[in-house]
Structure 1
Amino acid sequence: MKWYNRFDWLIFFSWLILSLIGLVAIYSATQGPMHRDTFIAGNFDRQVLHVAIGLVIIILMQFLTPQTYVQLSWPVYILCLFIALLTVFFGIEVGGERNWLNVFGFRLQISEFMKLATIMVIAGFLASQRQFSIEEPKTLLVLLVLVALPVGFITLHGDTGTSMVYIGMIPFLLFWAGLSFGLSLLMVMPAVLAYLTVVNIVAAGIVAVMMCGMIFLVDRRPMVTVSGVLLGIAVIIGVQVALTEVLQPHQRARVEAFTNPAVDPQGAGWNVIQAKTAISSGGIYGKGFLQGTQTQLRFLPEQQTDFIFCVISEEFGLIGAGTTLFFFLILLSRMVFIAGSHKHAFARITIIGIASIFLVHIIVNLGMATALLPVIGIPLPLISYGGSSFLSFSIMIGLCLNLRFYERSFSIYDS
């Protein structure tokens, strides 16, 4: 079979189109009259360079065999941990977070690359276990350590947003690898209940009962159900105590502004109000390229990164926003299809892990843009401005393409 018949053009063109959508949105967010004399005016040129480098990386990655990536998983994971440790002590602080490291004049955000490294080392570990149960205590302990190490370092950087991505992506990964639905639901429960407790404690209680009921129905082990009940109670009480006794006044004000932006429209509620205004004002067709008032008058905070979806919605309307989500849907559905049909465990787990990273990023970023989730600095994959973010997602795409390309002609377990 010729190489172009084995290459997954659907994933590649989805990457390319989403990257171009990102460039258009970043141009609008940084090149308007109000932005020309600011530092962010150069972000578009830098992002063009990021896309070009990403394309080269994707092409070069196809010349390596899947076995090479299996062998590199542990060294890359350890290297990322080492760089993360260096960042704790020598990192550059930006926006209260010490998650940037200056490497030969370039700023590297290792937490972006750590996600894929963690996915690969987990996939390599699980694929090497010929006969095992993922629910065995020994296996779960190893997985816990593999995840806890990067999360711990990233938390020390002050990057709580990226830490939350791990919490979101790991249940998807482990469920695909064989973890029962009941235990997977148990892993998701803390994040869901913590969010609902902040928004509405009654809703949190109702959802907790429903989730425990689902766990009981699908997993008849009494210990799992009891664990769900105790965990639900602990999360709801813990969040309430944190809101009333632990948080400082300014932190409490930010939480209140998230649930009710009108409380502080000029302060903590500003981001939410401006983002919702931008999205709602776009209508079906949008205001037109470079015509968005919220974008061009710089009312939108961090519009080239956290709120890039608001730029798309305001200037290109529902059609532009829907088109963006459509190509994300194509990309994710294709990844899931490949993961489901691939014959190698390493490839299956790695690709579904990559899909889960994309999915969590998309959900959280859209949640921030629509005020359904607090702003925690999670970029929209391939669209938000950022070199480390874009290149890490491009590497993920390159790895998916590689594992798909060599599926029939190469065994990743050959020596």
Structure 2
Amino acid sequence: MPYRKTELLKSVDWFTILIYVIMVVAGWFSICGASYEFDSVGMFDISGRPGSQLLWIGLSVVLIFVILMLDADFYDIFAYLIYAAVILLLIATIFLAPDIKGSRSWLVLGPIRLQPAEVAKFATALALARLMSGYGFQLTTLRNFVKALFIIFLPMVLILLQKETGSALVYFAFLLVLYREGMSGYILLAGICAVIFFVTSMKFSEIVAGITPVGELIVMSLILFISTALVYVERKNLLAIKVIFIVTVVALAVGGGISFFFPVNFAYIILGLIGFSVGYFLFLSVRGWTTHYLLIALFAIGSVGFLYSVDYVFNEILEPHQQIRIKVSLGLEDDPGGAGYNVNQSKIAIGSGGFAGKGFLNGTQTKLKYVPEQDTDFIFCTVGEEQGFIGGTIVLLLFGILILRLIYLAERQHATFPRVYGYSVASIFLFHLAINIGMVTGLTPVIGIPLPFFSYGGSSLWGFTILLFIFLRLDAARGERL
């Protein structure tokens, strides 16, 4: 039965729209609390940030109407064209954007400033969904997997060239989509392990027990444990587990005995055990003609290589300001007046809100402008101070409900295109939420990404609005794909 426009109001997911409205309204009040000055412009004056954000919200309503009125097939048919246009815009931004706080990510058009990186997310999601919905597409083939990675990482690289690291890192969220669509769990595990190994090696980099670097020892032990655990989880090969366990016990016992007479670097012993395990896995792979053990061996080799590259990446590739932010986040340095200032002030603001908060426009930390970027990247500290633990919890619950709802909507799709796009939307929101809240509370380094619908900015609001409502339009049309 052909889809009729008159049925749109009935088929669109109003529950998600309600959550969107609540969050946008709450975000506007938070921006008021963070930036409104009693002796300055009025709250509805567009020359001030509350009034300016209200204008962007009003324009978003028009944008939503346009998105919902377009035929759902429009986004499928023109996905690649939209992606190509955004890629060209990102390239132009590298050369045309002025230097603002060390990055070239904003196009200035008179009184209007546009950040193409924000709209690139929905364009990438559309292109990825278009690729994966192609006839006979299988993500498990190397060629298709490379195509998917190219679509994801091309805008990421262009945004990195704009020196906008935070926005670029968001594109790692698409790996969750690939995992849902059949990507090997080893790749996702490798990514998670890379983060754990990096943080662990950095955290304990300066601790030495005898002549054994503690950070190196811990990471080596994790590599050996995870590699061995994978053998059991996938193949239930108890013999392999026993062999590795016995060799490990013997090696550590011998090393412990020698350490009473000579200094012993136990990290080297674990490294030798990893080498033995890799050789054993390769033997099992050849004997059984299976790639499973080969993948585990490659995981172990790659992990060791990654471990020994951490120092080079940190010291030679990362910028000095990125290095100090990571060190402050990991507690390796205390820089309350520099790199740690934003986070320390944010924690103070959130803590001062207590359980119930100080009330709307009554936040002292925010009113006295102690927290830099308190109406953009650090907007959550305003929520914490004015609305307290209760308000912060409600905001987190709203995001949780929204993400779970998006996953539910994605799973009920009858076609690949809307499902892949829906998971892209959910993954992007999840990544933004986790990193932004972690950044504001000091759990992750400060990388500067907005909190969806709360942080001030027209580009951010429009980017997330387009991202969300394209999916709601696709979901509303699912009946015609039966």
TM-score by length of 2: 0.79
The farther-off stretch of 256-265 and 7-16 is 256-265
Which residue is 2:35 aligned to?
30
SS at match of 2:107: strand
The 3-state SS of whatever aligns with 1:409 is: helix
1:142 matched to 2:147? The reply is yes
1:78 Cα deviation (Å)? 0.4
User: CA–CA distance in 2 between the matches of 1:272 and 1:339?
Assistant: 36
1:103-118 mapped onto 2 (5 Å cutoff): 103=109, 105-118=111-124
SS at the partner of 1:233? Answer: helix
Q: What is the rounded CA distance, in whole Å, between the counterparts of 2:47 and 2:386 in structure 1?
A: 19
2: CA distance, partners of 1:258 / 1:49: 36
CA distance in 1, matches of 2:148, 2:478: 26
The superposition leaves residues 11-30 of structure 1 with CA deviations (integer Å, 9 ceiling, x where unpaired) of 10111100011100000110
1:291 CA drift (Å): 1.4
Structure 2 matches for 1:202-221, cutoff 5 A?
202=215, 208=223, 211-212=226-227, 215-216=230-231, 221=292
Label 1:245 to 1:147 Cα distance change in 2 as closer, same or farther (>3 A): closer
Question: 1:126 maps to what in 2?
Answer: 132
Specify the alignment match of 1:392 in structure 2.
463
Flag the structure with larger Rg.
Answer: 2
**Is this contact kept in 1: 2:203–2:332, CA < 8 A?**
no
For 1:90 and 1:20, the matched residues in 2 are separated by: 34
* 2:198 aligned counterpart, secondary structure: helix
The runs of 5 or more residues in structure 2 that have no matched partner are 1-5, 206-214, 236-291
The residue type equivalent to 1:181 in the other structure is G
Which residue identity does 2:189 align to in structure 1?
L
Q: Distance in 2 between matches of 1:207 and 1:128?
A: 40
Amino acid at match of 1:65: D
Contact 1:62 1:402 in 2 (8 A): yes
Per-residue CA shift, 1:134-181, capped at 9, x if unaligned? 1211111111221221111111100111111112x1221101112132
Please say if residues 174 and 184 of structure 1, whose CA atoms lie closer than 8 Å, have aligned partners that are also in contact.
no
Shift, 1:333, TM fit: 0.9
- For residue 185 of structure 2, what is the aligned residue in structure 1? 181
Change in Cα spacing, 1:244 to 1:123, as seen in structure 2 (3 Å) is closer
**Aligned partner letter, 1:22:** G
Q: Is the 8 A contact 2:415 2:481 kept in 1?
A: no
> Given that residues 182 and 218 in structure 1 are in contact (C-alpha distance below 8 angstroms), is that contact kept between their aligned partners in structure 2?
no
CA shift in 2, pair 1:231/1:301, >3 Å: farther
Conservation of the 8 A alpha-carbon contact between 2:26 and 2:454: yes
Q: 1:46–1:120: structure 2 CA closer, same or farther, 3 Å change rule?
A: same
Which of 125, 148, 162 is the equivalent residue of 1:157?
Answer: 162
Name the structure 2 match of 1:94.
100
- Mapping of residues 38-77 of structure 1, within 5 Å: 42-77=48-83
User: Could you say which residue in structure 1 is the equivalent of 2:90?
Assistant: 84
* 1:333 partner amino acid: L
Mapped contact 1:271–1:301 kept (Cα < 8 A): yes
Task: Give the Cα–Cα distance (whole angstroms) in 2 for the partners of residues 212 and 51 of structure 1.
Answer: 50
Q: Which amino acid aligns with 1:295?
A: T
CA-to-partner distance for each residue in 1:172-231, whole Å, 9 max, x for gaps?
Answer: 110111213233222443334334433346465565556545654555612322232233
What is the 5 A alignment of 1:396-411?
396-410=467-481
Q: For residues 291-333 of structure 1, what are the alpha-carbon distances to aligned partners after superposition, in whole Å with 9 as ceiling and x for unaligned?
A: 1121111111100011101110111011111111111112111
Q: Which moved more, 1:216-225 or 1:355-364?
A: 216-225
Query: 1:287: Cα distance to partner?
Result: 1.2
Q: Percent identity?
A: 31
Cα displacement (A) at 1:384 = 0.4
Structure-1 separation of matches of 2:223 and 2:37: 47
Give the aligned partner of residue 369 of structure 2: 298
- Alignment pair present for 1:267 and 2:362: no
Say which SS state the counterpart of residue 379 (structure 1) adopts.
coil
User: What displacement does 1:56 show?
Assistant: 1.6
Q: In 1, distance between residues paired with 2:67 and 2:225?
A: 45
Distance 2:48 2:219 in 1: 45
Classify the secondary structure of the residue corresponding to 1:408: helix
1:285 to 351, 356, 363: 356
- Displacement of 1:277 in angstroms is 1.1
Rounded Cα–Cα distance in structure 2 between residues aligned with 1:251 and 1:178: 34
Q: Residue by residue, what CA displacement relative to the aligned partner does 1:255-277 show, whole Å, maximum 9, x if unpaired?
A: 33332387222122211211111
Q: 1:35 to 1:280 in 2, by over 3 A?
A: farther
Tell me the secondary structure at the aligned position of residue 128 of structure 1.
coil
Deviation at 1:369, TM superposition (A): 0.6
Q: Name the SS of the counterpart of 1:22 in structure 2.
A: helix
Tell me the equivalent position of 1:7: 12
What residue is the counterpart of 2:264 in the other structure? none
Q: 1:227 pairs with 282, 286, 298, which one?
A: 298
* 1:245 shift after superposition: 6.1
Contact 2:12 2:476 in 1 (8 A): yes
Q: Which has the higher contact order (CA 8 A, sep 6+)?
A: 1
Query: Take 2:139 and 2:186, find their aligned partners in 1: how far apart are those partners?
Result: 13
Change over 3 Å in CA distance of 1:323–1:77 after alignment to 2: same
Distance 1:210 1:401 in 2: 44
For normalisation by structure 1, the TM-score amounts to: 0.91
